[in-house]
Structure formats: structure tokens, C-alpha cells
Amino acid sequence: MIPLAITPGDPGGIGPDLCIQAAIDGELEGVVIADPEIIKRRADILGLPVSIMDADHYNPERSQGVIYVDPVAAADPTNQPGISDPINAGYCLQSIEHALHGIQEQRFRALVTGPVNKATIRDGGYDSFTGHTEFLRDFFGLSEVVMMLASTDCRVALVTTHLPLAEVPMAISQQRVERVASVVINAFSEVFRIPQPRIHVLGLNPHAGEDGHLGREEIEIIRPALEALRTRHPNVHIEGPLPADTAFTPDLRAQADCHIAMYHDQGLPVVKYQGFGDSVNITLGLPIVRTSVDHGTALNLAGKGLASTGGLIAAIREANRLTTPIA
């Protein structure tokens, strides 16, 4: 089976540490898209003995203590741990593009991404960058992709992603809710192999608007969108709009294959509280499988040997699961 492509992310963050430690533990199942000098320098700082080999020699039977690298040159491979340097902003994005081209050329079968610093990339001259999800959408020329975080027993997809909270209400429309939910439904059928998913959709306002007394988005936008979706997908169970403060109780969580939240900090804190470090960020609606860690660059931990590999290993395992044919 052809390997996964793994991008470590910001060279000043913990991404290189995670790849190195995962390799030591025999859990780095894939090819790392990076500047080999960055990996070598970080391994020296960590005092971890790893062998760096060219991706052309990839051998899944010989993975413990080995990092297979498909090289991309960094502007500054001496980037010290703990420093997110805008000079390497282009390198971060070039690594992702290199991995994507490799998937298109069938050299890799899925993408696993490490954390990047959005502010650093913007400071490096890429003003429109708002995150991996939007970058991947634009790379493939798509109108809609969906960000979803998944833990062991909870999945949350988002109608809006990296927006200031003040801009969220204006970004929510009936058409957008319908598009996002349709992407989720199709992904669950085609990728997760759940043809009739149970979808719980949250309201925007407290108490889901309290029949219009606390906001009218539920009445004027979300309910009509859900009615249209139920007509379009009669075999899919669609519940909502639900009050967000009670939607994630254990009983209700067990009744849903996926929750759809209206905005980032409405749904993701629940997943991260439940499974931070082991949950996985998955982009739905792409022509490829992309998974990611659920955390940031953790600059304060970089180069110290303190970062947990749980998130990276979970992302690798999920990418493997989603790209392994059913026997």
C-alpha cells in the first residue's frame, strides 16, 4: 500500500518533535514532507537517535527509528524550536502543496497535517490564509468543504470555521446550512460507510432562539434548511435546531453520528474537553482524505521532549482506517 503524506507544520512548533518521537515508537506510518535539515536538527536537540532516509526507500516493515522524508527546502532550516518565524511561512504552505501533488500523482494516499501558526503565515505575506481547511478548499477549487473534529464517541462539524464571532450571524444562511449538511451526509455515506447517518444540528442562539424571543435565525434560516434537507435525504435522520447547552449530554450524544455546530467555539470545546490530544480534525468534501492533529503549535513545548504524540498517532490511524478497503 502506498504511504501517507505527513506534513509536520510550523518548523518552530512541536510538529517535528511529534514526527521524531512517533518514529522512535514505531508509530510514524508514512512519509514526512519536510526539510530533512529541520528534522535532523530537532532530533539532535531532543537527543533522539533517528535515521533519516529518502522517501524512495520507504519500507513500512522498517519504520521504527526511521523517518522517510520527501524533501522540501525551508527558507531557514535553522529555525529554532519555540520560535514561529514568518520567514518559513511559504515553506509550510509549499510542504502541503507538495504532499497534495504527490497524492494526485498517486505517490501518497492521504494527507496528515501537523499544526501551523495562522498568524505567522499571514505575517509571512499570505494575508488570505485562515487555516488548512480553507487552503485545501481553494487548492482543489471547491465551493464548500467542512471542518469536523472527531473523538472516540463524538463528531462535530462546523457551518462556519475561522471567523470573528461578530461575523458569524451574517455568515449563516439557509443555503450555507444546506450545503454544509449535504457535505456531511455525503461524506458519512462515502467515506465513513454510514449510509443513513443521524445528524443533530445546533441552533445559533441560546435555547435555540426560544421560539424567536432570543433570536430568529432558527426560525428564518436553520429550520427551513433542515426541512429542505429532510425532503432531499428522506432516509437520513436530521434533528434540530437543538439548544447547544444540552445537545451534548451523554444520552443525546449517543443518538447522533454527527453534530453540526453553527460556529467554531460552539461545538469544538466539547470534543476537545472530551478527547483533547486524541481527537482528530477531518476535512469533509475533499477528493482526498485529510486528517490532522487537534491542537496547535505549542511553541512552549517545542524541542523539550514534552509533547504528546497522541494526536498525531490518532490522525495517522484515522487516515489509515478511512483509506483501507473493506475486506
What's the average model confidence in pLDDT over 58-73? Answer: 94
pLDDT at 120 over 80: yes
Q: What per-residue confidence (pLDDT) applies to 63?
A: 83
For residue 327, pLDDT over 70 is answered with: no
Q: Where are the beta strands (DSSP E) in the chain?
A: 5-7, 31-34, 51-54, 66-71, 111-113, 146-150, 155-158, 198-202, 237-242, 258-261, 280-284, 290-292
Give the confidence band of 291 by pLDDT, cuts at 50, 70, 90.
very high
Read off φ and ψ for residue 78, nearest 5 degrees: -90, 10
β-partners of residue 145 are none
Q: How confident is the model at residue 274, as a pLDDT? A: 81
- Say what the pTM is: 0.93
Phi, then psi, of 207 in degrees rounded to 5: 60, 25
What pLDDT score was predicted for residue 326? Answer: 67
Residue 191 in grid coordinates:
467515506
Average pLDDT over residues 276-297: 93
Task: For residue 19, name the pLDDT band (cuts at 50, 70, 90).
Answer: very high
Instruction: Judge contact between 181 and 199, C-beta under 8 A.
Output: yes
Q: Tens digits of per-residue pLDDT, 137-157? A: 999 999 999 999 999 889 999
Residue 265, Cα to own-chain centre: how many angstroms?
Answer: 15
Q: Which of 60, 67, 282 is nearest to 154 (CA)?
A: 282
Split at pLDDT 50, 70, 90, the class of 32 is very high
Q: Within 10 A of 123 (CB to CB), how many other CB atoms are there?
A: 15
At residue 179, φ and ψ (nearest 5 deg) are -65, -45
Residue range 180-198, pLDDT digits in tens: 999 999 999 999 999 899 9
User: What value does the mean pLDDT take over residues 219-241?
Assistant: 97
Q: Domains of the chain by range and CATH?
A: 1-142+286-327 (3.40.718.10), 144-275 (3.40.718.10)
- pLDDT of 299 > 80? The answer is yes
For residues 102 and 104, what is the distance between their CA atoms, to the nearest angstrom? 5
